[in-house]
Amino acid sequence: MNNKPYLIAEIAQAHDGSLGILHSYIDAVAKTGVQAIKFQMHIAEAESSIHEPFRVKFSKEDATRYDYWKRMEFTLEQWKEIKAHCDEAGLDFICSPFSNRAVDWLEEVGVHTYKVGSGEVNNLLLLEKITQTGKPIIISSGMSSFSELDETVSFLKSKNAQFSILQCTTSYPTQPEQYGLNVIGELKERYNVPIGFSDHSSWASTGIAAVALGAEILEFHVVFHKEMFGPDAAASLNLMQTKLLAEAVNKIHTALNNPIDKNNNESFRELKSIFEKSLAINKDLPKGHIISFADLESKKPSGFGISAKEFKNVIGRKLANDKTKWDFLNEEDLA
């Protein structure tokens, strides 16, 4: 993993339909050290209907899920302003489309990368539309089995698409027994494409662990406060956690790219001389005394007496001269 982990702060519906709040998220996320910010483009008429049920009935102001998506919409011109703001802030603009119409809009806006949500992985109509753009694609595997992923991967490869896959568990917030960190390695081995982790655990430690296990991309929801209104707030990181995560995974990346040779400890030569110890006598002893274990102590530094690791070779030997308590014990002191 030569490149730093690619960190994507997912805003989703944390803006609750407010353009002003959305723009404040861009400014806040830009200070955390992540490389990208991700949104969801919802065009209610193109993607939903009044028959769509709520996954969780969280909204006290939307009668139906369709009403909620309608309230989450922005105009094409507003999306262009959002993209421009991301450019100014130095953040890659990533977006999940949920309709072919949204792909058309995102092409006009100038999206950096397409994110395909868990529920769209088997939507080959949408995938066909996205692959036609030639843009990079990130697939979230949350609700997909390996057999379903195989089909999608085969489709994407047939289109020569540039894509990556995220291990994800569609549960909000995800519990430790649901993380599926083991799947990161399984995805790498099975598909030989960049693999990442989409996190809904609400803990920075989960993303840190994922990077240590080989995740090259991290996606996670970000919210100003975890008690804010919305379906994802409890499964999100706050801004302080996001900054901590960015700093931590970059350090983990540096560590992984600088393996230590445990056969070579030459750089510790000076420290070893300070911390390692020499044998010494713990009481006054006369010439001719036969050294026992009870007579010995080890004292810093090394090199002033026989090495403490050689104590067994000293036991049972006679002193060649008188020794004073706490004197170092050298070979010439032994008969």
Tell me what percent of the chain is helix, strand and coil, each rounded to the nearest 5. 40, 20, 40
Identify the sign of the CA torsion 53, 57, 63, 67: negative
**Neighbouring-strand partners of residue 139:** 116, 165
User: Confidence band (pLDDT; 50, 70, 90) for 239?
Assistant: very high
In sequence order, which residues have a C-beta less than 8 Å from that of residue 316 and are 6 or more positions away?
A: 290, 291
Query: How many whole angstroms separate alpha carbon 55 and alpha carbon 59?
Result: 11
What is this structure's pTM? Answer: 0.84
Instruction: Kindly tell me if the per-residue pLDDT of 57 is higher than 80.
Output: no
Tokens 């998220």 locate to: 25
Domain with CATH 3.90.1210.10 in the chain: 266-333
Instruction: Kindly tell me if the per-residue pLDDT of 63 is higher than 90.
Output: no
pLDDT above 90 covers a percentage of the chain that reads: 76
Q: In angstroms, how far is CA 57 from the centroid of its own chain? A: 31
What is the predicted pLDDT for the residue at 56?
65
User: Confidence band (pLDDT; 50, 70, 90) for 252?
Assistant: very high
What is the predicted pLDDT for the residue at 58?
66
Which residue from 289, 301, 309, 310 is spatially nearest to 328, judged by alpha carbons?
301
Instruction: Kindly tell me if the per-residue pLDDT of 53 is higher than 80.
Output: no
What is the predicted pLDDT for the residue at 269?
84
What is the predicted pLDDT for the residue at 199?
92
In sequence order, which residues have a C-beta less than 8 Å from that of residue 252 and are 6 or more positions away?
A: 5, 208, 211, 212
Cis peptide before 301 (omega within 30 of 0): yes
Q: What is the mean pLDDT of residues 306-328?
A: 97
Instruction: Kindly tell me if the per-residue pLDDT of 212 is higher than 80.
Output: yes
What is the predicted pLDDT for the residue at 227?
77
Q: What is the mean pLDDT of residues 111-138?
A: 96
Please give the DSSP secondary-structure letter assigned to residue 34: -
CATH fold of 266-333, please?
Type Iii Antifreeze Protein Isoform Hplc 12 (3.90.1210)
What is the predicted pLDDT for the residue at 6?
97
Task: State the chain's maximal CA–CA distance in angstroms.
Answer: 101
Instruction: Kindly tell me if the per-residue pLDDT of 259 is higher than 70.
Output: yes
What is the predicted pLDDT for the residue at 185?
95
Decide: 83 and 106 in contact? Cβ < 8 Å.
Answer: no
Which residue from 95, 134, 136 is spatially nearest to 117, judged by alpha carbons?
95
What is the predicted pLDDT for the residue at 287?
96
Count of Cβ atoms closer than 10 Å to residue 214 Cβ: 17
Query: How many whole angstroms separate alpha carbon 165 and alpha carbon 59?
Result: 31
How does pLDDT run across 139-181, given as a tens digit for each residue? Answer: 999 888 999 999 999 999 999 999 999 998 877 788 888 888 9
**8: enclosing H helix or E strand:** strand 6-10
Mean pLDDT (the chain, rounded)? 93
Q: What is the mean pLDDT of residues 202-228?
A: 93
Query: How many whole angstroms separate alpha carbon 327 and alpha carbon 330?
Result: 9
In sequence order, which residues have a C-beta less than 8 Å from that of residue 134 and are 6 or more positions away?
A: none
What is the predicted pLDDT for the residue at 270?
85
Domain with CATH 3.20.20.70 in the chain: 6-256
State how far the alpha carbon of 204 is from the alpha carbons of 173, 183, 193, 199, in Å: 13, 19, 25, 9
| SS3 of residue 138 by DSSP | strand
Query: How many whole angstroms separate alpha carbon 231 and alpha carbon 317?
Result: 77
Please give the DSSP secondary-structure letter assigned to residue 87: H
- Locate 86 and state its tokens: 């991301």
| SS3 of residue 237 by DSSP | strand
Listed range (77-86, 229-238, 291-300) with the worst mean pLDDT: 229-238
Decide: 237 and 221 in contact? Cβ < 8 Å.
Answer: yes
Q: In angstroms, how far is CA 93 from the centroid of its own chain? A: 20
Instruction: Kindly tell me if the per-residue pLDDT of 209 is higher than 80.
Output: yes
Q: What is the CATH number of domain 6-256?
A: 3.20.20.70
- Locate 2 and state its tokens: 């030569």
285 HSE (CA, 13 A, CB side): 26
